[in-house]
Homo-oligomer: A and B are copies of this chain.
Amino acid sequence: MELGAFIAENGTSLSREPGQHVFRQGDRNSSLYFLKSGLLKAYYLSADGKEHIKSFILPGNHIGSLMASHAEKSCSFSLVCLRQCNLTMLPFSRLYQAARSDPAISAAVVDLLLSFAMKKEAREYELLCLSAADRYRRLVENTPDLLKLVTQNEIARYLGVTPVGLSRIKKRLAG
């Protein structure tokens, strides 16, 4: 992958222990992160202290705050390690600069944004059209491996229900 090579060459490596943050909601962080190994959790913390999980990031995937990178705003979510993580960090600006002169990089950036947009669109669909029970069923079907990596507690907050709620949903589906 072109982009992977570029990031590997130009980015800086970092590693983090479980529980450590890569960045926090409110930070100014306009970098793109590539996860080499480990497991990340991207989450929102609402005013009343409730956690809502935006996504889990598995090795081989990218993450970064678009808002902070492009809208002169601060990060709208936090990024924390659930496992020991090895990442590569690269400022978005450096990537765009490279894209300007190298068509292959440019195409890779388009691909990256595209796959990102499609993921977000799929999630929008699930949150808008499906019930919590349906979302859980889908998760079990599509990414059963994730269930083994994180607690049910976190699955619940990813699906948009409370842990208690998810427990009941499971019971209903099983019964």
Contacts and interface: CB of A to CB of B under 8 A. Distances in A.
A44 interface: yes
B127 A128 contact: yes
B44 A121 contact: no
B118 A121 contact: no
Given A99-B106, A118-B70, A44 B113 contact: no
A60 B95 CA distance: 28
Interface in A107-127: 107, 109-110, 113-114, 116-118, 120-121, 123-125, 127
A100 to B, nearest CB: 6
B96 A110 contact: yes
A66 B70 CA distance: 21
Interface of A is mostly: helix
A114 B70 contact: yes
A173 interface: no
Nearest to A112: B113
A71 interface: yes
Contacts of A67: 118, 121
A100 B110 CA distance: 11
A97 to B, nearest CB: 11
B124 A123 contact: yes
A121 B120 contact: yes
A103 interface: yes
A160 interface: yes
Contacts of A114: 66, 70, 113
Top 5 nearest A-B pairs (CB, nearest first) are A120-B120, A127-B127, A113-B113, A117-B117, A52-B129
